[in-house]
Amino acid sequence: MRLLLNSCHLLCDEDALESLEGILHEKLNWNEVLQEAYYHGVAPILYHTLTKFQHNGQVPDKVLGSLQFVYKRTAYLNLNLFKALNAILEAFNENGLNLILIKGITLVDEVYGNIALRPMSDIDLLVRQEELDGVDTVLNELGYKWHPEREWLLQEYGALPYFHMKQGIVDIHWELFYPKMFLQSFSPLATTVLWENPKPISIDNHHALSLSNETHLLFLCLHMAKHFRKRVYLLWGCDIALFLQKYGKLIDWNYFWQLAKKSGQEKLIHEGLKFIEKYFRTEGEMLKCDDAEYKFTDFGSAKCKNESRLISKNILERMYNISGIWGKTKYLFSFFFPNNAFLTRKYGIMVKKRITLRRLYRPILLISRTLKEVCKQAYKQ
């Protein structure tokens, strides 16, 4: 894990090279390193780092080959997503629709500066809720189809995914600070906050907008806090660390902490930034808050077996709200047999045979654990 942390830190500080060289002289379990890198989403970053040491024989060729595959694959997939984004930006501009780019798509372009370093699974766009019908029309014309759970998502969630056979997934958001998206008790922030002082950016000569620095950082922190009781991906920490490195001096920290306080998660966000400072050695005037009551867990080892979910009530509720037998069947099949990208990220595996075995094993595991939990609850009653 120290190798991964120092690889991410190297993006922020070239002085980490010396520490990395010392780690590479140790006896490393490269299979474990690869599994952790895949799980935490930082395999491209690790490859970018290890290429600096490939000529001294410290890194096995097989390891570099595996990481190079992920690096090139990430570049290829991201290029396709940016190609799709260009078509969307052009169509939205022609139809007078407002949008703000959020999450990975802006981080790759603005913060990482290398399309192969930061994996993305989809394009996330923030739109105005009153323009959803127009957005739906434009995306349909571009060949995107809305999710079969559309009606349920419109009522219960702040985002709606659209699918394209060749271009991938576009997640349309009209809310970001939506209480049901978070495990913690959360005070929703007004949607108007998201549209205050957006930053103009350029994507392949197309004009677009991204969130203000303060709102963007708040969202990144809350997104990491949203999951920290279950897991913390190293990639999320790297996102925040690089964001702070580039925009830390431009952030209005008083306004940022006002937003954090309004959200009711000020102390949790503060602890998250302390977490980033500790592991990524970021510096700045960000830690202006009373001592936090919450504690982020250390990264530690990726215990993937604890990540398997039960067939929850939410799944059954979504099934009920999907119209038609075909829609229900399609959703259930995608839940039990997810795609390779999901399995690779969730379980940290890349070998095709192992992915196939995991796909076959997953429904058995889900059903057995669910039945076990049902029996356990019935016994308690």
pLDDT at 19: 73
Return the CATH architecture of domain 74-211: 2-Layer Sandwich (3.30)
How does pLDDT run along the chain (381 residues), one tens digit per residue?
Answer: 778 877 777 676 666 677 777 777 788 888 888 888 888 889 999 998 888 877 677 788 888 899 999 999 999 999 999 999 999 999 999 999 999 999 889 999 889 989 999 999 889 999 998 998 999 999 999 999 876 666 666 666 777 888 887 888 898 988 887 665 555 555 667 778 888 889 998 887 888 999 999 999 998 988 777 665 555 678 888 999 999 988 989 999 999 999 888 887 788 788 888 888 877 765 544 555 444 343 444 433 333 333 344 455 556 655 555 667 777 777 777 777 776 666 655 554 555 667 778 778 888 877 887 777 777 766 665
pLDDT at 305: 37
What are the domain boundaries of the chain?
A: 74-211, 305-380
> Tokens 């060729």 sit at which residue?
61
How far apart, in whole angstroms, are the C-alpha atoms of residue 375 and residue 305?
21
How far apart, in whole angstroms, are the C-alpha atoms of residue 316 and residue 311?
8
* List of residues 6+ apart from 305 with CB closer than 8 A: none
End-to-end CA distance of the chain: 43
The tokens describing 302, both together, are 């990726």
pLDDT at 291: 43
Closest residue by Cα to residue 127 from 147, 101, 150: 101
Positive or negative: CA dihedral 84, 86, 89, 93:
negative
Closest residue by Cα to residue 60 from 37, 38, 87, 28: 28
pLDDT at 292: 39
